[in-house]
């Protein structure tokens, strides 16, 4: 069974996940753009998902020491390598405030519409 971190569906990913790597282990995970990675322990190498730059496919590679963090510019398959073993905390980006507000407004309007419709039906009966 695939874990949510291996499925390219951001809505299935938990808000934060700790990835533990043994000495010399490499793991590929799918992360959304804007995700933050924090190294906890020995140094790790993070290779971001490749992107086209003109006619060339390029990947940004970062070496993270203990306590260092990066934010991914774009989503995709990210490779994490730990030469001495280590741990990486992956945090999913929080949606912008207007998206949360829009969802709340839609729920409020739907509740109001249901209430108004019920009021109109009961008023017509009297």
Q: Determine if the pTM surpasses 0.95.
A: no
Within its chain, how far is the Cα of 42 from the centroid?
23
Label residue 124 by pLDDT band (50, 70, 90): low
Contacts of residue 17, defined as CB under 8 A and 6 or more positions apart, other chains included, come to 5, 89, 90
End-to-end CA distance of the chain: 59
**Residue 4 in tokens:** 């949510």
Per residue in 82-98, pLDDT tens? 999 999 999 988 766 66
Tell me which DSSP letter residue 126 carries: -
Among 3-17, 37-51, 93-107, whose mean pLDDT is lowest? 3-17
Ranking 29-33, 54-58, 63-67, 117-121 by mean pLDDT, the lowest is 117-121
For 103, the enclosing helix (H) or strand (E) is helix 97-125
């Amino acid at each position: 069974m695939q874990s949510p971190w291996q499925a390219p569906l951001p809505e299935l990913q938990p808000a934060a996940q700790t990835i533990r790597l043994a000495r010399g282990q490499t793991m590929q995970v799918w992360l959304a753009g804007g995700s933050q990675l924090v190294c906890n322990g020995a140094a790790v190498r993070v290779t971001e998902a490749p992107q086209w730059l003109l006619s060339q496919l390029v990947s940004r590679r970062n070496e993270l020491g203990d306590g260092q963090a990066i934010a991914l510019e774009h989503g995709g398959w990210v490779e994490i390598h730990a030469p001495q073993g280590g741990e990486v905390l992956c945090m999913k980006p929080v949606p912008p405030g207007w998206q949360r507000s829009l969802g709340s407004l839609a729920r409020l309007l739907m509740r109001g519409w249901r209430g108004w419709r019920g009021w109109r039906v009961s008023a017509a009966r009297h």
